[in-house]
Structure 1
Amino acid sequence: MTNKTERNGTLLARTLAAAQRHRIITHLLLIGFGFIMLYPLLWMLSSALKPEELIFRETGLIPGEVTLDNFSEGWDALSHTFGHYFVNSAIVTIGAVIGNLMACSLAAYAFARLEFPLKRLWFAVMLGSIMLPLHAVLVPQYVLFSELDWINTFWPLIIPKFLATDAFFIFLMVQFIRTLPRDLDEAARIDGAGHWRIFSRIIIPLSMPALATTAIFTFIWTWNDFLSQLIFLTNPDMFTAPVALRTFMDASGNSSWGPMFAMSLLSLGPIFGFFLAGQRYLIRGIATTGLR
């Protein structure tokens, strides 16, 4: 009996030791992959703190010499201070976020709760537009906005958002609204509520995770958008942060690397801040979307 107990104890100890080794190896692998993913950001941070002549001479992440001159030079390097381009990016991004929240939520409510002719067909068309690449519609959009005299204004980057052109977010909110009990709608309708009241008083408050997810992704994608802003904004006074960063590199490929890395690092600040502020809602929205 004693030998059997000792064998069981030894087996248990070996199992626990193996599990401990497995956890250690797993954590080491995760740390290694995390470092690989963060290496470009760490390298940019290191380069922003180095004198420009040492950026490509030193290969390590720890700067041999630390300077903040890149930030001051980059801030004042262009025709406007870089804060001007931050403001332009903020105008475009906030307008896009508001437009997507309003238009996509209305369209999602219609697909999730209303009955109208050819509803399934229009929903399929909406989903099909997700697979349509931006480059396929860029030229027609440019011609249209040029006819409207909207080139070198923020309207081409904001107004389409108020027309529910981002089908991905419509689909996201449709799936979320479908998880909400229809009994709530019926109870409100018995009390005399119409569709607008049901939408504003019931659906919107309960859809905060999906709305937060839409806001976060819209903010990140719009703030980082380069192609559309480069096409529609050619006046330097209207440049956003991504387009302004491009002007640090001239036509010959030469660049003010230090100031560009410093301003690139500052440009990431709003993204990290907005993501961290809404991370709790983002995880909840992704986790619950599509559950029935």
Structure 2
Amino acid sequence: MKPKHLKKIIYHLLVGGFAILLLYPVIWLIMSSFKLSENIFVTAQSLIPNPFVLENYAQGWEGFGDYGFATFIKNTAIFVAFVLVGHLISCSLIAFGFARLKFVGRSFWFAIMIKTLMLPYEVVMIPQYIIFAELGWLNSLKPLVVPAYFGHPFFIFLLVQFIRTIPRELDEAATIDGCNTFQIYYRIILPLIVPALATTAIFTFYWTWDNLLGPVLYLNSPAKYTVSMALNMFLSNETVSNWGAMFAMSTVSLIPVFVIFFIFQRYVVEGISTSGLKG
């Protein structure tokens, strides 16, 4: 066997081993969703369910009281859709301004925007809650959705780096053809930053879909609960926790995440790698 072939075999064995190691918790979650709740931790070392049951999915899908799990999925989908649209519009506009427009204090405001990445959410959590309470927005999606229409520093930085790779000659040519600033943004920049926008959309979907702290703070009506809050309701400090139903619905909630990743993974790699370059 040639040395280069041996290196490839060793490389793939190592990568495959690490992949199995990283995927094992997910595999354990899925297989445990087919076990009886009382047997999940008793037979935790065994992946094979014995007996193999589907009751957990039926119980979990029934939800709580008058609200089935489909209601929580619908609430989460609406939540994600509004936040997704907000991030795509606001972050692309702000990034275009930082990357292409000249205005007083541009470097200062860009630095301030970057510094906000260092602020933990816990620092602004209480002030935001007081503001939204004064506005009467509690128990609604407004505190969770409206901030998305004012940009997100991580995505703004990502898009700024991507826009800087686009030659300014395109802007000048568009100006000669009679385009104003907004038309340059809409007709020239947006079509060229699709990979970065796709990356923004995918990460927004991931972070919003499994967001628990925000909904817990602002939502108190079961009819408005999200998937993450519904999963938390399967656990109880007073009675027996329904681990089987929680694992079953956790598996169901992972399906959109996997689907989105496998469909758009090419855009994630392309958007992140290209955003690190500067033309």
Q: Residue 46 in 1 paired to residue 34 in 2?
A: no
Deviations 1:240-263 (A, max 9, x none): 000111011113474100000000
Give me the CA root mean square deviation.
1.2
State the identity as a percent.
46
Partner residue of 1:206?
A: 192
2:157 & 2:38 partners in 1: Cα distance? 50
Q: Residue 34 in 1 paired to residue 19 in 2?
A: yes
2:159 & 2:165 partners in 1: Cα distance? 10
Which structure 2 residue ranges, 5 or more long, are not aligned?
Answer: none
2:20 & 2:231 partners in 1: Cα distance? 26
Q: Which of these residues, 93, 100, 116, is aligned with residue 80 of structure 2?
A: 93
2:114 & 2:217 partners in 1: Cα distance? 26
Partner residue of 2:220?
A: 234
1:82 & 1:283 partners in 2: Cα distance? 33
1:54 & 1:253 partners in 2: Cα distance? 17
When normalised by structure 2's length, the TM-score is 0.96
Q: Could you tell me how far 1:81 is from its partner in structure 2?
A: 0.4
Question: Following superposition, which runs of at least 4 residues in structure 1 exceed 4 angstroms of deviation?
Answer: none
Partner residue of 1:6?
A: none
Q: Is the 8 A contact 1:52 1:258 kept in 2?
A: yes
Partner residue of 2:236?
A: 250
Q: Is the 8 A contact 1:93 1:219 kept in 2?
A: yes
2:273 & 2:185 partners in 1: Cα distance? 22
Corresponding residue pairs, total: 276
**Partner amino acid, structure 2, of 1:229:** P
Deviations 1:186-240 (A, max 9, x none): 0010111001111000100000000000000000000011111111112111110
Partner residue of 1:181?
A: 167
1:82 & 1:266 partners in 2: Cα distance? 10
Alignment of 1:95-244 (within 5 A): 95-164=82-151, 166-244=152-230
Partner residue of 1:75?
A: 61
Q: Which of these residues, 272, 283, 288, is aligned with residue 258 of structure 2?
A: 272
**Partner amino acid, structure 1, of 2:41:** F
Q: Is the 8 A contact 1:108 1:170 kept in 2?
A: yes
Deviations 1:143-192 (A, max 9, x none): 0010111111001111000011x100000000000000101100010111
1:60 & 1:31 partners in 2: Cα distance? 21
Which structure 1 residue ranges, 5 or more long, are not aligned?
Answer: 1-12
Query: 1:87 aligns to what SS in structure 2?
Result: helix
1:50 & 1:196 partners in 2: Cα distance? 57
Deviations 1:98-150 (A, max 9, x none): 00000000000000000001110000000000111100000001000101111
